[in-house]
């Protein structure tokens, strides 16, 4: 409304000066100040009604597409018509109240404005309606863009917190106390019975910790680094489980530098070991593989364990993997579980193969 008032004041001044010049009146200060309030009121009424039409009509517009542009054009015409109606209905009353012969005052009391004057006055209202609708649409789009940017920033912050929490949880799940205690207890037992095996297990444990600890601070890793982490993890458990644990890792060297989210493979391997092999007296085999087809990288972890149960695919670790893949790559990445042959479970991750 303040904008309408300012525009009305400026237009009223131009109107008054034009009216005085056109009627041949002397533009005395007292005449100007007598005419100015009434004309300013008239212009303010026109602009205020037009603004009200724009604000209310803008809420009813379609959300997008060509239909919105057509609706905006219609809104310009409606606002123009509203301004014209207010002008026609109020102009003569304002003129009589002022007691001055202004432009077009001679038509008051007749059937109305002559046909040749209507286009001029309609265009005058259109000159206000068009920028009014355009500026309001621009302000509305800017406001929506700012809100979307703010929401995107909040989502980004939430995603960063979730990723940090997920990395910490995943790392904590791998370097949990009972894993370290059991590994060190096995080292102590082997020192008494098999010093060479104890030294080998201690070396594997140190290698695993060297690979795992930096992941807490990293947001990205490479496939080669993740494979080495998995290998060290399986070597530690291999000393504990002996012949009950066998594993096979197949990764082309050309894929070693491809970036992958940290701890994804390790979580799948730990899941296969914990839920697939360890419950079986005879243990089993874990197969880890990586392949690339065009722009898609496929990671697989299969086991010959006890197979899929009712709760398979719904664990916290797998849920974290799905959430991280969705947050990082959207629909371009996925985790799926299938029955392995001859038995067990096969987990497959597909994600974009982005060169590092």
- Residue 190, pLDDT score: 83
Nearest to 304 by CA among 324, 334, 276, 274: 276
- Residue 125, pLDDT score: 78
The secondary structure of 81-150 as a DSSP string is: HHHHHHHHHHHHHHHHHHT---TTGGGTTSSSS-TTTHHHHHHHHHHHHHHHHHHHHHHHHHHHHHHHHH
In a domain, 165, yes or no: no
User: In this structure, are 189 and 336 located in the same domain?
Assistant: yes
User: In this structure, are 124 and 220 located in the same domain?
Assistant: no
Beta bridge pairs of residue 298: 291, 350
User: In this structure, are 142 and 216 located in the same domain?
Assistant: no
Lowest mean pLDDT among 138-152, 214-228, 330-344: 214-228
* Domain of 244, in residue numbers: 175-352
Residue where one domain finishes, among candidates 104, 120, 153: 153
Total domains present in the chain:
2
User: In this structure, are 137 and 188 located in the same domain?
Assistant: no
User: In this structure, are 250 and 141 located in the same domain?
Assistant: no
In a domain, 53, yes or no: yes
- Residue 250, pLDDT score: 95
User: In this structure, are 199 and 322 located in the same domain?
Assistant: yes
User: In this structure, are 113 and 261 located in the same domain?
Assistant: no
User: In this structure, are 144 and 208 located in the same domain?
Assistant: no
In a domain, 162, yes or no: no
To the nearest whole percent, how much of the chain has pLDDT over 70? 69
In a domain, 97, yes or no: yes
CATH number at residue 280: 3.30.565.10
User: In this structure, are 125 and 190 located in the same domain?
Assistant: no
User: In this structure, are 120 and 188 located in the same domain?
Assistant: no
Reply yes or no on whether the pLDDT at 13 is more than 70: no
Reply yes or no on whether the pLDDT at 6 is more than 70: no
For residue 334, give both structure tokens: 């996925």
Q: Which residue has the higher pLDDT, 341 or 104?
A: 341
- Residue 203, pLDDT score: 86
To the nearest whole percent, how much of the chain has pLDDT over 90? 20
Q: Find the length of the chain.
A: 356
The predicted-structure confidence for 175-204, as pLDDT tens digits, reads as follows: 455 567 777 888 888 888 888 888 888 888
- Region 52-80: what's the mean pLDDT? 86
- Region 294-321: what's the mean pLDDT? 80
User: In this structure, are 198 and 134 located in the same domain?
Assistant: no
- Residue 50, pLDDT score: 83
Lowest mean pLDDT among 220-224, 290-294, 313-317, 351-355: 313-317
Are the beta carbons of 261 and 226 closer than 8 angstroms? no
In a domain, 191, yes or no: yes
In a domain, 266, yes or no: yes
Contacts 24+ apart (CB under 8 A), 193-199: 197/239
Q: Which residue has the higher pLDDT, 264 or 95?
A: 264
The predicted-structure confidence for 89-121, as pLDDT tens digits, reads as follows: 666 666 556 554 455 555 555 445 555 666 777
User: In this structure, are 189 and 120 located in the same domain?
Assistant: no
Structure pTM? Answer: 0.51
Lowest mean pLDDT among 7-21, 53-67, 284-298: 7-21
In a domain, 166, yes or no: no
- Residue 216, pLDDT score: 60
Reply yes or no on whether the pLDDT at 256 is more than 60: yes
């Amino acid at each position: 409304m303040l904008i309408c008032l300012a525009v009305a004041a400026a237009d009223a001044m131009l109107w008054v000066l034009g009216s005085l010049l056109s009627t041949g009146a002397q533009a005395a200060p007292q005449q100007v100040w007598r005419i100015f309030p009434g004309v300013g009121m008239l212009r303010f009424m026109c602009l205020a009604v037009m603004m009200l039409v724009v604000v209310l009509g803008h809420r009813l517009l379609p959300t997008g597409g060509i239909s919105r542009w057509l609706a905006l054009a219609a809104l310009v015409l409606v606002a123009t018509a509203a301004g014209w109606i207010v002008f026609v209905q109020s102009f003569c009353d304002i003129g009589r109240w002022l007691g001055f012969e202004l432009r077009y005052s001679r038509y008051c009391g007749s059937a109305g404005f002559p046909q040749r004057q209507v286009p001029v006055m309609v265009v005058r209202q259109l000159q206000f309606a068009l920028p009014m609708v355009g500026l309001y649409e621009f302000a509305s789009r800017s406001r929506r863009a700012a809100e979307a940017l703010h929401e995107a920033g909040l989502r980004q912050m939430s995603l960063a917190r979730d990723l940090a929490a997920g990395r910490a949880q995943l790392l904590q799940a791998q370097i949990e106390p009972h894993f370290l205690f059991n590994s060190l207890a096995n080292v102590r037992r082997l020192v008494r019975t098999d010093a060479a095996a104890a030294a080998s297990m201690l070396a594997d444990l140190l290698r695993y910790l060297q690979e795992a600890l930096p992941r807490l601070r990293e947001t990205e890793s490479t496939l080669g680094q993740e494979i080495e982490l998995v290998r060290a993890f399986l070597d530690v458990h291999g000393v504990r489980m002996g012949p009950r644990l066998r594993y096979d890792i197949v990764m082309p060297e050309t894929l070693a530098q491809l970036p992958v989210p940290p701890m994804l493979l390790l979580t799948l391997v730990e899941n296969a070991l914990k839920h697939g092999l360890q419950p079986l007296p005879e243990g089993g085999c874990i197969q880890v593989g990586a392949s690339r087809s065009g722009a898609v990288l496929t990671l697989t972890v299969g086991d010959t364990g006890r197979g899929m149960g009712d709760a398979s695919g719904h664990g916290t670790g797998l849920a974290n993997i799905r959430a991280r893949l969705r947050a990082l790559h959207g629909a371009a990445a996925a985790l799926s579980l299938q029955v392995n042959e001859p038995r067990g479970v096969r987990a497959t991750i597909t994600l974009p193969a982005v060169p590092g």
